[in-house]
Amino acid sequence: MSLVDSGLGHDRKALAASLRLILEKLGASNLTPQTRSGFVPEAQVATLKELFVDLQVGWRKRVARVLGQDKLELITRLLASPTPDVLRILGREDHENSHSDLIAWLLTPWRAPAIAPLALRRLVGGFDQPDAWRTTLDTALATEALSIRREMPIGRELANSEDRCRVDIVVSGPGFVVAIENKVWSTEHSDQTTTYWGWLDGMRCLKGGLFVSPSGMTAASPNFHTVSYLDLVSALLEGPVKHAISATEEIVLASYLKTLARTILPVEMRAVVEAASHEERT
């Protein structure tokens, strides 16, 4: 059974992170066997090539399953647009706060009215009581009572350091609060999400936590739901595949997708283009 058929290349997050590194190296590697004595035999090189092809097909199938054809085509179009990668121009493509700023912008309904509402509905749909979450969120959206805050302080009494007292993004409204912790290249420190859940747990309302990272790392607090950057992209595209979006929204979204394609999700985005092309041929 191949890796693709076994499913090992799809949902095991630690393996996924390792395969990403392998495939990035593959793009710059020459696997042609050498003739010097003691080098890898040609048969083993052929097996290695087959394995890499299998992994590439696995990634293509994974992104196609997560995103669906409409989103594959939209990403491919946006990546081919003339919109510049603004974070790269500013030298901020590895800067975690810059990523959080863009994510918060895309989740703000009055800034991204075609993107944010359905993205938020998708994200809260993974919590317990999803119907109650969606109803409460829809009410906040309809009454313009939703708040998006960056670096929100939650009280020094809950932690000893300033970093642990600020939640990256807080989405709130009448009857609910969502805390979002975003990691790019770093890992969670000092059990941040445990501290944040201690703050949330005392609230008499719907409360939820999202732990966002490129590979979908597990949070220290079991109450924080794991969200990979590919899952996040899928949520952000819920609206644009169903409704027309403004020129401003499209520019910001395309620019951010280019940042992700170059820096954070190069293997996944390459697989997106390959999957879209594969579907067109079939």
Report residue 12's pLDDT band, with 50, 70 and 90 as the boundaries.
Answer: very low
User: pLDDT tens digits, residue range 141-151?
Assistant: 999 999 999 99
Name residues whose C-beta falls within 8 Å of residue 160's C-beta, 6 or more positions apart in sequence. none
What element of type H or E holds 225?
Answer: strand 224-228
The dihedral built from the CA positions of residue 58, 62, 68 and 73, taken in this order, carries a sign that is negative
pTM score: 0.80
Query: Residue 90's closest CA among 82, 102, 81?
Result: 102
133: alpha, beta or left, given left = phi > 0 and alpha = psi -120 to 50? alpha
CB 211 within 8 A of CB 226: yes
**Which of 53 and 248 is assigned the larger pLDDT?**
248
| Domain ranges within the chain, ordered by starting residue | 3-67, 94-265
Kindly tell me the number of DSSP H helices and DSSP E strands found in the chain: 12, 5
Helix (H, G, I), strand (E, B) or coil at 243: coil
- Nearest-angstrom CA–CA distance, 78 and 93: 18
